[in-house]
Chains A and B, each alone.
Chain A
């Protein structure tokens, strides 16, 4: 109970920080009264094939936050080498490279930059990984995929 209090206190601080100095292209807010579940949005980074796309994500914070990372998932289907069909993200800072210093803001910024710089060495989505070197074809496929799924 005490720990829970510490976690919600930290999450409140993060929320205030996020609202005070909003970064371009990312936002996040608790889903409801529950501070442990947030909805974030990421705009596809400029000068990448993802430019102009907008992605919704869910962030769930464990009771051991910030000692353990939040569970982050894409809600908007995302065609990307490191995102699987369920929206799970393969990103080192959300796993073994996590440190207590990271927060909602840095997590969302990292995912945003992951969009433009995928790691095609260990892909979750093989098709996206194969297609990535051909950026023109990738963009075409991505736009179709996005328009088909963006409302789901």
Chain B
């Protein structure tokens, strides 16, 4: 008799313990829930501000408000390039139908260690080249303007109306070129 009661007591004592374990498990599970669909995050990504989402959920959130991309949790700025995918160990290849409608989540950005001594100017290579191209243009105008009066076969003889006209035009082009250069310098 005593044994049964003891067994019952231990059983009833262990029951709340088991429940508490269940609660803990639940809390652990909720830790990994997407903040949008409230389900366990699939194709999980984490924002720079540390909030977890399914990539499809976050993508749709960003799509619905292209002008104001903020984290749904803390309203920090967020973007496609500013999220980090989480690759767990059980990375099975289960195809989700929604994945076909959204672009694949961005790949992890893996920066190589060291090699910090790279040329710093490369970062804005494109912009640099573009501005150089525009900058070269007025000098081209300059050279053509300055070469205009030189011995050209079609140069009109002095004193004629055509000569006056050509002088006038060349002056205009010269001034346009100067203005353009000034604009480039001061704008």
A residues contacting B by CB (< 8 A) are 2, 6, 9-10, 13-14, 17, 64, 66-68, 99-101, 103
Known: A99-B70, A101-B35, A101-B36. A2 touches B97 (CB 8 A): yes
* Chain A contacts for B98, CB-based, 8 A: 2
Contact check, B97 vs A100: say whether CB atoms are below 8 A apart.
Answer: no
Contact check, A100 vs B39: say whether CB atoms are below 8 A apart.
Answer: no
Known: A99-B75, A101-B73. A67 touches B61 (CB 8 A): yes
Known: A99-B70, A99-B75. A9 touches B61 (CB 8 A): no
Contact check, A14 vs B38: say whether CB atoms are below 8 A apart.
Answer: yes
Known: A2-B98, A100-B72. A13 touches B39 (CB 8 A): yes
Query: A82 to B6, alpha carbons, bound, how many Å?
Result: 63
Known: A2-B98, A67-B61, A67-B64. A99 touches B72 (CB 8 A): yes
Contact check, B72 vs A101: say whether CB atoms are below 8 A apart.
Answer: yes
Contact check, B39 vs A9: say whether CB atoms are below 8 A apart.
Answer: yes
* Chain A contacts for B61, CB-based, 8 A: 67, 100
Could you give 11 example pairs across A and B, Cβ below 8 Å? Answer: A6-B37, A9-B37, A9-B39, A10-B37, A66-B36, A67-B61, A67-B64, A99-B70, A101-B35, A101-B36, A101-B73
B97, closest chain A residue (CB): A2
B30, closest chain A residue (CB): A17
How far is the CB of A88 from the nearest CB of chain B, in Å? Answer: 23
Contact check, B60 vs A67: say whether CB atoms are below 8 A apart.
Answer: yes
Query: A17 to B37, alpha carbons, bound, how many Å?
Result: 13
Given contacts A6-B37, A9-B39, A100-B35, 20 further A-B contacts (CB under 8 A): A2-B98, A9-B37, A10-B37, A13-B38, A13-B39, A17-B38, A64-B64, A66-B36, A67-B60, A68-B64, A99-B70, A99-B73, A100-B36, A100-B57, A100-B61, A100-B72, A101-B35, A101-B36, A101-B72, A101-B73
Query: A101 to B52, alpha carbons, bound, how many Å?
Result: 12
Q: Mark B25-48, 1 if CB is under 8 A from A, else 0.
A: 000000000011111000000000
Interface residues in B47-92 (C-beta closer than 8 Å to A)? 57, 60-61, 64, 70, 72-73, 75
How far is the CB of A95 from the nearest CB of chain B, in Å? Answer: 12
Query: A2 to B98, alpha carbons, bound, how many Å?
Result: 8
How far is the CB of B11 from the nearest CB of chain A, in Å? Answer: 26
* Chain B contacts for A67, CB-based, 8 A: 60-61, 64
Query: A103 to B35, alpha carbons, bound, how many Å?
Result: 11
* Chain A contacts for B57, CB-based, 8 A: 100
* Chain A contacts for B35, CB-based, 8 A: 100-101
Contact check, B38 vs A10: say whether CB atoms are below 8 A apart.
Answer: yes
How far is the CB of A143 from the nearest CB of chain B, in Å? Answer: 39
* Chain B contacts for A17, CB-based, 8 A: 38
How far is the CB of A116 from the nearest CB of chain B, in Å? Answer: 24
- Cβ-closest 5 pairs across A and B: A99-B72, A100-B72, A67-B64, A100-B36, A101-B72
B51, closest chain A residue (CB): A101
Query: A66 to B70, alpha carbons, bound, how many Å?
Result: 15
How far is the CB of A2 from the nearest CB of chain B, in Å? Answer: 6
